Amino acid sequence: MSSTLFRTSPALRGALRASGAPKVAGAMAGIGFVRGKATLPDLPYDYGALEPHISGKIMELHHSKHHQTYVNGLNSAVQTIKEAESKGDFTKAATVAPLLNFHGGGHINHTLFWENLAPASREGGGDPSGALQKAIVADFGSVDSFRKQMDAALAGIQGSGWAWLVKDKTAGNLNIVTRANQDPVSGPYVPLLGIDAWEHAYYLQYQNRKAEYFEAIWNVINWKTVESRFEKP
């Protein structure tokens, strides 16, 4: 899959590199690809393990249905582009590119997202430590201020999208960026922490009170994952 994907989607290639996910250890082998196919990664916690902050029903649907749809869509788009490429039909390949971006981004974003979460009874919640904590204080004033700025960015997303804490590889600082739909973070930005602002991430539990979801999710943020992404050269 990778050779085709790399040739056809520089943005996605950047995101795949930026994610660093293949080096993430544990039950989640990062961005899952087996023999050229994207695969749905297992979660390192039960669906109900993030309650009461994120309900088990949301987690089950979000992972087993929504993420699976992105995996299927990515594989389908890659296959269609491969076939079009083999026939020299670049018009066809070009028309599928948006689907590759959407489903490929959906797969990458959700894989990073699951790793960003952990039960509050385990690694979830609290504050970051070490070099990441220092960098957040330097760039946002305090960890609380960072959380507020991230929540404001999430609240400002119109429609579906994501907010990310990113490391700017060029400037060397941390930043908050938003992305519409499933556009992956790429370019100079390394995604450290992503929060899903799609309605499917919260509506069953929080309905229209999405600010409550944005507040609650900090109780299940896995800062160890964020720290390891930050410290990676």
> Is the separation of the CB atoms in 44 and 137 below 8 Å?
no
Provide the minimum distance between the beta carbon of 108 and Fe ion in the complex, in angstroms, as a whole number.
12
Residue whose pair of structure tokens reads 């695969």 in the numeric block: 39
Q: Is 200 annotated among the ligand-binding residues?
A: yes
User: What sign for the dihedral angle of Cα 8, 24, 157, 71?
Assistant: positive
Question: Minimal CA–CA distance to 163: which of 182, 145, 176, 181?
Answer: 176
Nearer to Fe ion, 189 or 198 (CB): 198
Write each residue from 147 to 186 as x if it is in contact with Fe ion (CB under 5 A), else as -, in one continuous string.
----------------------------------------
Closest residue to Fe ion: CB criterion: 196
Q: Is 67 annotated among the ligand-binding residues?
A: no
Identify the bridge partners of residue 195 per DSSP, sorted by sequence position: 163
Residues in binding contact with Fe ion, number by CB under 5 A: 3
Element (H, E) at 212: helix 210-216
> Is the separation of the CB atoms in 166 and 175 below 8 Å?
yes
Tell me the CA distances in angstroms from 192 to 3, 176, 228, one per residue in order: 25, 10, 9
Nearer to Fe ion, 64 or 129 (CB): 64
Provide the minimum distance between the beta carbon of 149 and Fe ion in the complex, in angstroms, as a whole number.
22
Nearer to Fe ion, 114 or 198 (CB): 198
Provide the minimum distance between the beta carbon of 163 and Fe ion in the complex, in angstroms, as a whole number.
13
Q: Is 46 annotated among the ligand-binding residues?
A: no
Helix-strand-coil percent breakdown of the chain, rounded to 5?
55, 15, 30
Nearer to Fe ion, 151 or 196 (CB): 196
Nearer to Fe ion, 105 or 119 (CB): 105
Identify the bridge partners of residue 167 per DSSP, sorted by sequence position: 174, 190
Identify the bridge partners of residue 176 per DSSP, sorted by sequence position: 165
Write each residue from 179 to 218 as x if it is in contact with Fe ion (CB under 5 A), else as -, in one continuous string.
-----------------x-x--x-----------------
Which parts are annotated binding residues for Mn(2+)?
A: 62, 110, 196, 200
Which parts are annotated binding residues?
A: 62, 110, 196, 200
Residues in touch with Fe ion (CB under 5 A):
196, 198, 201
